[in-house]
Amino acid sequence: MRQVTLLGPLDGVDLAAEVEACGAAGPVALVTAGWEEGERNDAEIDRRLGGGSRNLNLYGRRLDVLESDVAYADAERLLRTQLDDLRELYLLRVRHALDGVDVIRRRFAEAQRRPGPELDGAIDAVRTLDESHAAAIGAAYERFYSQSVPHERLSIARHREEVAEIVAGCGAIAIAGGHVGVLNDCLHLCNLAVLIEDRPLIAWSSGCMAVSERIVVVDDGDPAGRPDEIYDIGIGVAHGMVALPAAASRLHMHDADGLAVLARRCAPSVCVLLDAGDRLELHAGQPADLGSVGVVDGDGRVLRGAAAA
């Protein structure tokens, strides 16, 4: 059974020990595509992994595809325009829906009454928007892949073959953080989910988001006031959970009402907090022991230890 280890930010983490613990036989295949132009500045991470890692250069490969295959690049630009339009409308609608949740909650608070089905209905309206947006993203990708058929394009097939060959000679895969959207695009382009099915995987920071089924972006301190959002569809290695790395700096932990809405929006998936020092193992794609990390329950409580498990 493949071992998957999810980590928060790497402060104080012994990556070499993590590689040893997963029993990797051979070098580590490294993904730093989320660093974009800094992808190959990986000497420090290589050292921390124990040396000898092999960078898959997924960001550079994606740039090469977009530069060499004009038709594919045009199709992807159209896809990005469609996704941006979907996101703009979704954020507008979900912001108003969340305002409605706040209005109902305040009204009941002023009347010193406990919110009832009215609040449940308001949160369900937000969930409906989330689900509709996720379905729209999926439909846009389906249209794109049915028309561009990546595995039949020589520009992409060559890179996929080269990546597969490198991974075949490695004992584990490590996925770093960075820009989660860029990282996710690169993982999908090179079809990495298929290549890592039988190898230990270590991911940290936004790498944990990209390997999940859905990428949910939260930032309560966002200067633009953007609400928490369904951002994209990940590669689906981790099931039944929403990864929230660096949660302590991105979530208002004192806002139980806001945390409760987030948890209920993501349900039945569990909101998993991955801060510095946190470590979560997955077995068969599912969290093995939620007691090792923090989770948010439907009442907005942050649970750790036995209470989370």
pLDDT digits (tens, 9 = 90+) for 220-260: 988 888 899 999 999 999 999 999 999 999 999 999 999 99
Domain formed by 3-69+153-307, architecture: 3-Layer(aba) Sandwich (3.40)
Task: Domain ranges for the chain, please list them.
Answer: 3-69+153-307
Average pLDDT, stretch 12-18? 92
- The owner of tokens 């040396």 is 51
Model's pTM, two decimal places?
A: 0.93
pLDDT digits (tens, 9 = 90+) for 256-285: 999 999 999 999 999 999 999 999 999 888
Q: How confident is the model at residue 308 (pLDDT cuts 50, 70, 90)?
A: low
**In contact, 267 and 298? CB cutoff 8 Å:** yes
pLDDT digits (tens, 9 = 90+) for 189-215: 999 998 887 789 999 999 999 999 999
Half-sphere exposure at residue 199, Cβ-oriented, CA atoms within 13 angstroms: 27
What is the average pLDDT value for the chain, to the nearest integer?
93
| CA-based nearest residue to 140, from 213, 70, 80, 190 | 80
Q: C-alpha distances in angstroms, 295 versus 11, 185, 202, 287?
A: 20, 27, 20, 11
